[in-house]
Structure 1
Amino acid sequence: MSFVKVICMLLLLSLVSACSWFGGDKSIPDIPEQVIYDDAMSALDSQNFALAIEKFQLLEARYPFGRFSEQAQLELIYAYFRNNEPAAARAAADRFIRLHTNHDNIDYAYYLKGLTSFEEDRSFLARFLPLDETQRDPGAALDSFESFSILLNRYPDSEYAPDAQRRMQYLKNRLAIYEIHVASYYMKREAWIAAANRGRYVVENLQETPAVPDALAIMAEAYSKIGMHDLAENALDVLRLNFPDYVIRPFSPQRFDLLYTATFGLLGNIEPAVPARPVSPNRTTLDQPPAEEAAPRRSLLNRMTFGTLGSDGREEAEAQPAQ
């Protein structure tokens, strides 16, 4: 029995010594707070953001209540932002706002949070290709708009307020156009009430944007489709009063006869939409566009060459004087 105990003790000692041989008991040296902070700022200045994040995290872990702790948390938000880590940047900003509600630079935390979501909304491909970002999900744009809005409401005199206001106007236009895309989709699906609600949201909450006239036109057409003619006329009156040069066009789907569909537009005609209600002579109906716009007369050569040659009737329609 004693021999077994001796063997076990020798094995235990060998394992402990092996751990020491391979660096198992290696400890991180005690680095002063000033040195860690200086190293982190040097890495930040040299745009080595991954190293800067590592140093700031080490500083916060070693000296959570040190004299550089608050500034390190702010710099960490910026380092995450520049290192293309939007989720970590927003989390760091939220943590700083929660822990330091009365900090002198809390407006900077709100600005970085909004800027992170703003840049996240602009995809990599959208920066180099002509993609329509207004048709994508606006989740990041909404987060950015909310952060900038809090910054302007709570700290209107902040040095970051002017830039935040300019970005908010851009985001407001982007969100309004997105709502029009959704409303147009509902119109094509003949979901009139949903389309009208989207248009009303733009008119009530996203004023002074280029999408307002389209929203009013969608409201008028959708209300006309469901028989709410008073609301349709009110939307038309507002549209004509505020946007007299706006050209009304139908948002509901155009209907084609069977011959037109089967021959890919070579033969047949576009079936005119049936207006839901007659309108006054001096008012353009939303349900039926003018004949020149709805079904221009195409030449036979244009039809036989799938529109590559010949006249499609648009030149004649544009040459005619407006009535």
Structure 2
Amino acid sequence: MPLASSLRGAKDAVLRVALLAACGAGLAGCDALDSINPFGPEKYKPEIIQRRPADKIYSEGLAKLEDHDYDEAVKRFENLDKEYAYSDWSRKAVLMTAYSNYEGQKYEDAITAAKRYLQRHPGSKDAAYAQYILAMSHYKQIPDVTRDQERSERALAALQELVQKYPTSEYAADAKAKIQITRDQLAGKEMAIGRYYLERRNFPAAINRFRDVVSRYQTTRHAEEALERLAEAYMALGIVGEAQTAAAVLGHNFPDSPWYKDAYALLQSGGVEPREEKSSWISKAFRGIVGIEQTAEAQ
């Protein structure tokens, strides 16, 4: 018999002995073999996990909110959203996630959740509230006027969107009031930069900043000073006509303002008086505005 055939025969005999030894007279050895055999008789038995009732998870989230445990409240509502996706419970959960994050001062997370709600449910009865949470989360992060005002710009945009899309909602009145505050903040930043340039006699740069206030933020408390500062800068550059117009518009809209008195005295020291040039950008910016307070109330 060839050597190769003898070796194969010996190998087969060894395997048969090993299998018999493993099984033996009992079943334990054979069970062990079955456990490593992917084609064996054992079948996978799936474990059925019962879902917790949605109302129970929601109630737990509300309880955590009541205890001011906002992180745990967020966890409950996020779990509810995942376990009952595409249901009305999911809709409520996303909104409450936004609110819980807002109350916990995690404004970026609140913004994310509010946006998610508005993307999923733009026409729901609570969409205005989601937009309000979104706007207020930006509003709460408005910095002082010495810092970058990107947050203020975002807050203004979100508040304006709330008023435009949901003008009859219960949040519209508060949004309008905060729009005015936010606009005042943005105008204050422009004024601070304008004064900086004016003090350093960089009159063109100063004019650009004061012009922005006059053009965009006429209903803020900074409009009076901006007009007077424009009169200063234009007089310094020898652009007398624009200085006269700035003073005239200031006197027309704010006749009792101390800023008008300063502008009037400035022009008199230069041998001229306030006189409005209708073709001036200043005149066009304020055309049709009778008074700053009346304009603000009309918005």
- 2-structure distance, mates of 1:244, 1:42: 57
Say whether 1:54 aligns with 2:75.
yes
Structure 2, unaligned stretches of length 5 or more? 1-13, 15-31, 36-46, 275-299
Cα distance in 2 between the residues matched to 1:198 and 1:172: 15
Work out the CA distance in 2 between the residues paired with 1:64 and 1:54: 15
Quote how far apart the aligned CAs of 1:28 are: 8.0
Q: Which one-letter code corresponds to 2:151 in the other structure?
A: A
Partner of 2:250: 239
| Pair 45,230 (structure 1): closer, same or farther in 2 beyond 3 Å | same
Overall identity of the aligned pairs, in %: 28
How far off its partner does 1:30 sit? 3.4
CA distance in 2, matches of 1:145, 1:28: 48
Do the aligned partners of 1:111 and 1:151 also contact (CA within 8 Å) in 2? yes
CA RMSD of aligned residues (A): 3.1
Quick check: 1:113 aligned with 2:100? no
Cα distance change, pair 276–220 in 1 and its aligned pair in 2 (3 A): closer
Counterpart of 1:120 in 2: which secondary structure?
coil
1:279 aligns with 2:270: yes
Equivalent residues in 2 for 1:135-146 (5 A)? Answer: 135-146=146-157
Distance 1:28 1:227 in 2: 83
- What is the aligned partner in structure 2 of residue 199 from structure 1? 210
Change (3 A) 1:77 1:28: farther
Q: Does 1:173 align with 2:164?
A: no
Contact 2:191 2:209 in 1 (8 A): yes
**SS of equivalent residue, structure 1 residue 101:** coil
Is contact 1:176–1:202 with CA below 8 Å preserved after alignment?
yes
Please give the alpha-carbon distance, in whole angstroms, between the structure 2 residues aligned to 1:94 and 1:150: 13
For 1:186-265, list aligned pairs within 5 A. 186-248=197-259
Normalising to structure 2: TM-score of the pair?
0.68
**CA distance 1:96–1:72, shift in 2 (3 Å):** same
Matched, 1:40 2:61: yes
Separation in structure 2 between the aligned mates of residue 28 and residue 59 of structure 1, nearest angstrom: 16
What is the one-letter code of the residue matched to 2:95? Answer: L
What's the TM-score, normalizing by structure 1?
A: 0.63
Asked if the contact 2:244/2:267 (under 8 Å) is kept, the reply is no
Higher helix share: 2
2:52 corresponds in structure 1 to 31
How many pairs align?
229
**Cα gap change, 1:67 to 1:208, in 2 (>3 Å):** closer
Look up the SS of the partner of 1:68 in the other structure. Answer: helix
